[in-house]
Chain A
Amino acid sequence: MRMVMTGNYASAYGAKLARAEVIAAYPITPQTSIVEKLAEFVSSGELKAKFIPVESEHSAMAACIAAQTAGARTYTATSSQGLTLMHEVLMWASGARLPIVMTNVSRAMAPPWNVWADHMDTVAQRDTGWLQFFCRSNQEVLDTIIMAYKICETSGVMLPAMIVEDAFILSHTSEPVDVPEQALVDSFLPAYSPELKIEVGKPMGFGSLVKPDQYMEFRYKAMLGMKEARERILRVEQEFKHIFGREHGGLLDLYKCADADVIMAAAGSVAATAMDVVDAMRAKGMRVGLARIRAFRPFPHEEFRSLAGKTEGIAVLDRSFTFGAAGAMFTEVKSSIYSCQKRPVVKNYIAGLGGRDITPKILEKIFEDMLVVSKRGAEDEVEWVDVAGLPRRWR
């Protein structure tokens, strides 16, 4: 059934259709309407789940960890300061190999206090062992939640996943979303049935102490899980397409890249705007393309390597900044292609922090700059876009 809904409601419907059994959550702007909607579903009986209101995000994740260890499928949602408060337990979830699925409504970190779109919160959790999917539409949010459970719950993966919605741009903007039939989702996603779980009457210690002689082996296994996730993401999406008739581009969603002189790499809602800009610029005869980073973890290194020989320049747009270095997506893209024989020029554009609009005009100017830079190299590898006081005019 097609409904008009926000990204947040798309998250709530996704968790409901996936039949989450335990939902533990704490409110935070702009996430709150996700768990409010889920609380409604639970209280009306539409969703048979245990809803646990907790006193913090740290506790929300701890409750999900406990319930998932007992064999329940769990879901939570958070944003920004809430996500970073969870940091310690995010590592517990992945180390304990619990395929929890969570929406993070990606929002700027304070100070300065700001509730708008920015990827710093998500990027700061890059090393926690979670799969991270950036979405560009509300439909993708709903579909990716359902897919994420299937990807993560297989014995070869068993890692948690974070579905990323841009604050307000997706979370509070209504779009038409196809809400699939429950029976169809049930045929795609079987009930969660972990190989090992807590059992009453058989007390065991989960995630117990191991000494230096055994710690690395467990970490190695988590690495294998993330490697397997790469393959699972692609396979599960094909199964999803077969049943629901939709796909979202695997790890790296390519748009008109085959013959592109320069390519923009970007994640999240800005990629939807960039598709329009690509069309407009192609109509004017400029061969540009878009490589949308859909999975940030696992990162599409191989996909970028296969692009390297086919294009002259890659403009990496980061909606966050790693202080003392550059944008996180930029360093990943560069390291991906370092071993390639033919390497395009790569330049980093930092834009849209704290919800600053990234307009079509700005994207067009980035493409135009990249077309020049791809021929003569970048003077500055990292450029901050649309900052008051800097010489270049972007608007």
Chain B
Amino acid sequence: MTKSHEEITLTPISDTPSTMNITGLWRVVKPVVDKEKCKKCTICWKFCPDAAITLVDGEPIVDLRYCKGCGICAFECPSKCIIMVKEGEQ
């Protein structure tokens, strides 16, 4: 229902944070981390523009609900332990 202009705030303000937007559905390719080769340098975590990588004991864990598959982590990884894999293939 359209609210009267008198009833709304000056700019739209939603009480649901943007974490409610599950943007990972946009993805075509996904990052796969080779834990054997990972040196825990955290560069992928620093570069991820969507903050979709968290560190657990220094190891990167990709939250695929938000990862859009841009591949920046794989490109930046100095030990080349991240590869981008097409969704549905392994």
Q: Which residues of A contact B (CB under 8 A)?
A: 95-97, 158, 196, 203-210, 213-214, 217-218, 220-221, 224-225
Q: Is there a chain A Cβ closer than 8 Å to B11's Cβ?
A: yes
Q: A158-B10, A210-B12 are in contact. Are A217 and B4 (CB under 8 A)?
A: yes
Please name 7 pairs of A and B residues whose Cβ atoms are closer than 8 Å in the assembled complex, sorted by A.
A205-B14, A206-B11, A207-B12, A208-B13, A208-B18, A214-B8, A224-B5
Please list the 9 inter-chain residue pairs (A to B) with the smallest Cβ-Cβ separation, ordered nearest first.
Answer: A203-B17, A97-B10, A205-B14, A217-B5, A208-B14, A96-B11, A213-B2, A208-B12, A210-B12
Most buried by A among B4, B5, B12, B19: B12
**A204-B17, A213-B2, A214-B2 known; A221 and B12 CB under 8 Å?**
no
Chain B residues closer than 8 Å to A95, beta-carbon distance:
11
On chain B, the residues within 8 Å of A220 by CB distance are 5
Bin chain B's interface residue count. 10 to 19
Measured in the bound complex, the distance between the Cα atoms of B9 and A225 in whole Å is: 13
- Contact partners of A205 in chain B: CB under 8 A: 12-18
Is B3 in contact with chain A by the CB < 8 A criterion?
yes
Residues of A within 8 A of B10 (CB): 97, 158, 196, 218, 221, 225
A264 to chain B, nearest CB (A): 38
B11 and A204 within 8 A (CB): no
User: Roughly how many angstroms separate A205 CA and B13 CA in the complex, as a whole number?
Assistant: 5
- In the assembled complex, which residues on chain A have CB atoms less than 8 Å from the CB atom of B17? 203-205
Task: Find out whether the CB atom of A196 lies under 8 angstroms from the CB atom of B9.
Answer: yes
| Complex CA distance for A244 and B16, rounded to whole angstroms | 46
A204 contacts which chain B residues (CB < 8 A)? 13-15, 17
B3, A217: Cβ atoms under 8 Å? yes
Known contacts being A205-B18, A213-B2, A214-B3, is A221 close to B13, with CB within 8 Å?
A: no
Check if A218 sits within 8 Å of B11, measured CB to CB.
yes
User: A97 contacts which chain B residues (CB < 8 A)?
Assistant: 10-11
A63 to B16, alpha carbons, bound, how many Å?
Answer: 23
Q: Which residues of A contact B3 (CB under 8 A)?
A: 214, 217
**Complex interface: chain A residues within 8 A of B16 (CB):** 205
Q: Enumerate chain B residues within 8 angstroms of A214, measured Cβ to Cβ.
A: 2-3, 8, 12
State in angstroms the CA–CA spacing of A264 and B61 once bound together.
67
Complex CA–CA separation, A103 to B30 (angstroms): 45
* Given the contacts A204-B13, A205-B13, A214-B12, A221 and B5 also touching, CB distance less than 8 Å: yes
Residues of A within 8 A of B12 (CB): 205-210, 214, 218
Docked CA distance A372–B11 (Å):
51
What 15 additional pairs, Cβ within 8 angstroms, besides A217-B2, A217-B3? A97-B10, A97-B11, A196-B9, A204-B15, A205-B15, A208-B14, A213-B2, A214-B2, A217-B4, A217-B8, A218-B5, A218-B8, A218-B12, A220-B5, A221-B5
